[in-house]
Amino acid sequence: MSLKIRHILLSGLVLLVLIAAFILLRSPAIKGEGPLLTEQIAESELIARGEYLVTAANCASCHTTNDGEFMAGGLAFETPFGTIYSTNITPDPETGIGTWSDWDFMNSLRHGIRPNGEHLYPAFPYTSYTKASDEDIAAMYAYLQSIEPVNQSPLENELEFPFNLRALVAFWKVPYFDAGALEPEPDQSAEWNRGAYLIEALAHCSACHTPRNAIGAAQLDAHMSGGEYMDLVSSGEYRVWSAPNLTSYDRGLALWSHDDVASYLKTARNDILESFGPMNEVILNSTRYLADDDIDAMATYLKSLAPVSDRSTAEPDAGLMGRGRTIYNLHCGTCHLPTGAGDPEMAPQLNRGSLVVQDENPASMINAILYGPHVPTPPLPPKWREVMEEYQYTLDDEEVAAVATFIRHSWENAAGIVTPEQVARQR
Ligand code: HEC
Ligand code: HEC
Ligand code: HEC
């Protein structure tokens, strides 16, 4: 490297650090004073309320590993910038949040800031939790301080320079993070407002269902219109999953009735299909425990989201559809039926109503075909007579692309072409 380039790089870096220091110093003093909770409420009632809210916010899916202790952290999050690990949020004084005050906890959820002033990475979805009310954050704090403490040190994040500099998150926050509790919409019903609060402040559906830009920030004009998420497939490796469009777009949530949405969130099933993939954890750890009127409120709010469309216009040709039909009839039709209508004991319907099938981004549909859809049993009693096998060894990229295109473009479905390259990306 020439001396001049090195010089330019170095001064650039110094400038960045200076700006970072400036932003950091400008951060408002967010340390709270006085009691966080002004309401008079019995400790046991507060803890019970906190447990419900922590369930609705699904903290456990990210802070509890498969074979680990409850809320002791250690789950890996693969991001384009490296691996971030969730932390220990049990009340252990040494390795958890046992020494934190209620305001420390408040500042982490509302502002994404640690007690020592360090910025937290938005892999922790405080972009949603910031919308929770003071009272609810106080209740979650009371509950988390009441659970079993576990002495387990958090794993070190493995982030590349410069993403390992927490101060850089301060830059990110300026355009992309707005701290503050959700304000109710006076023109909407109490049910709608409750649903909005549950979905946006707690359940953080948008963390996966909203597209992100190159530096990991949600694209607000495309709220809930479909995003991507890295998660495990059955082989134990990380792959991209597409989280479909939940707006009232005709290939998104418009395909489902209010009852289809409510039943899916409450039981992992509806008349069309059963959950699989990353949604299993959302439903099994969180939404299925919610009260019926809260589930109804969530469905009411979701069904009200204005359509955001991403329709592609590409039409598959007859040759591709023909190849897809042959593969479908040979490998899939016995369970999903040649009409795609499915069977209550054998397989879900694919002919209409699957958001995953009609998603503009076919990643999750391809994962289901390559690795088999992971059913939510246990703990649920089995719904199907047989599980669907994985086709990663039976079908090559071209064949998977052809059969997926055939399903996406047959019957009442009208989604786009799947290319062999898109299948190769999921292998
Ligand atoms: C999508 C995954 C995810 C969910 C859901 C989630 N967290 Fe986290 N959380 C993380 C990650 C990852 C970190 C580490 C962030 C970092 O290193 O900056 C973290 C960090 C934290 C911290 C900071 C701890 C510290 O040592 O500074 C607290 C507190 C916390 N989470 C509490 C919660 C609570 C309470 C909930 C539920 C309301 C929750 N988290 C839900 C992923 C998650
Ligand atoms: C951790 C990421 C993540 C979160 C959080 C999440 N989703 Fe999903 N969702 C996905 C992915 C990935 C898919 C497609 C694969 C699957 O079904 O698991 C999906 C699929 C869906 C589907 C379509 C199912 C189908 O088979 O057609 C609905 C409806 C849905 N999600 C609703 C929600 C709601 C409501 C919430 C909030 C309560 C939510 N999701 C939270 C990742 C997520
Ligand atoms: C042995 C019966 C069987 C066969 C054969 C079969 N499937 Fe399935 N398929 C199922 C079952 C059962 C599910 C539901 C899994 C669950 O509970 O989530 C499913 C789910 C799916 C889904 C996810 C739908 C959604 O949105 O939830 C897709 C896509 C799919 N199958 C495509 C295929 C394709 C393509 C083939 C042929 C290459 C095929 N299946 C062969 C039984 C079968």
| 191-205, 297-311, 397-411: least confidently modelled range | 297-311
Task: Dig out the tokens for 146 from the structure.
Answer: 């009441």
Q: What are all long-range contacts of 255-261, with beta carbons under 8 Å and residues at least 24 apart?
A: 255/352, 255/353, 255/354, 255/355, 255/358, 256/353, 256/355, 258/296, 258/299, 258/300, 258/303, 259/299, 260/353, 261/298, 261/299, 261/302, 261/303
Q: Is 87 in the pocket of ligand 1 (CB under 6 A)?
A: yes
Residue 44, judged by CB atoms within 10 A of its CB (0-12, 13-18, 19+), counts as exposed
Mean pLDDT value of segment 13-42: 69
Mean pLDDT value of segment 361-376: 96
Q: Which ligand sits nearest to residue 242's alpha carbon?
A: 2
Left if phi > 0, otherwise alpha if psi is -120 to 50, otherwise beta: which for 356?
Answer: alpha
| 40-49, 292-301, 312-321: least confidently modelled range | 312-321
Testing ligand 1's pocket by substitution, the residue of 49, 58, 79, 87 carrying the most ligand atoms inside 8 A of its CB is 87
Cα–Cα distance measured from residue 52 to residue 140, given in angstroms and rounded to the nearest whole number:
8
Cα–Cα distance measured from residue 353 to residue 318, given in angstroms and rounded to the nearest whole number:
24
* pLDDT (tens digit per residue) in 167-178: 999 988 988 999
Q: In this model, does residue 356 exceed pLDDT 50?
A: yes
Q: What is the pLDDT of residue 309?
A: 84
Q: Is 71 in the pocket of ligand 1 (CB under 6 A)?
A: no
How many CB atoms sit inside 10 A of residue 375's CB? Answer: 17
* pLDDT (tens digit per residue) in 257-305: 999 999 999 999 999 999 999 999 999 999 999 999 999 999 999 999 9
Q: Is 130 in the pocket of ligand 1 (CB under 6 A)?
A: no
Cα–Cα distance measured from residue 197 to residue 39, given in angstroms and rounded to the nearest whole number:
20
Testing ligand 1's pocket by substitution, the residue of 124, 141, 156 carrying the most ligand atoms inside 8 A of its CB is 124
Mean pLDDT value of segment 351-364: 95
Q: How far apart are the first and last CA of the chain?
A: 38
Closest-CA residue to 348 (of 373, 329, 366): 373
Q: In this model, does residue 1 exceed pLDDT 60?
A: no
Cα angle 142-144-148, degrees, rounded to a multiple of 5: 125
How many CB atoms sit inside 10 A of residue 167's CB? Answer: 17
Testing ligand 3's pocket by substitution, the residue of 332, 358, 371, 384 carrying the most ligand atoms inside 8 A of its CB is 332
Closest-CA residue to 196 (of 268, 302, 87, 291): 302
| 9-13, 202-206, 207-211, 410-414: least confidently modelled range | 9-13
From ligand 1's centre to the CA of 166, what distance in Å?
15
From ligand 3's centre to the CA of 289, what distance in Å?
27
Local confidence band at 314 (pLDDT 50, 70, 90 cut-offs): confident
Mean residue pLDDT across the chain = 92
Task: Dig out the tokens for 421 from the structure.
Answer: 């390259």
Q: What is the pLDDT of residue 29?
A: 47
Residue with tokens 């955001």: 308
Task: Dig out the tokens for 27 from the structure.
Answer: 């951060």
Cα–Cα distance measured from residue 402 to residue 227, given in angstroms and rounded to the nearest whole number:
24
Across 270-283, b (16+ Cβ under 10 Å) vs e yields bebbbbbbbbbbbb
Q: What is the pLDDT of residue 20?
A: 62
Mean pLDDT value of segment 123-143: 96
| CA separation, residue 254 to residues 39, 302, 341, 354 (Å) | 41, 10, 19, 11
Closest-CA residue to 426 (of 228, 225, 206, 210): 228
Local confidence band at 31 (pLDDT 50, 70, 90 cut-offs): low
Residue 386 neighbours by CB under 8 Å, 6+ apart = 335, 346
> In percent, how much of the chain has pLDDT > 90?
81
Residue with tokens 């989604």: 415
Question: Would you say 220 and 175 are in contact if contact means Cβ atoms under 8 Å apart?
Answer: no
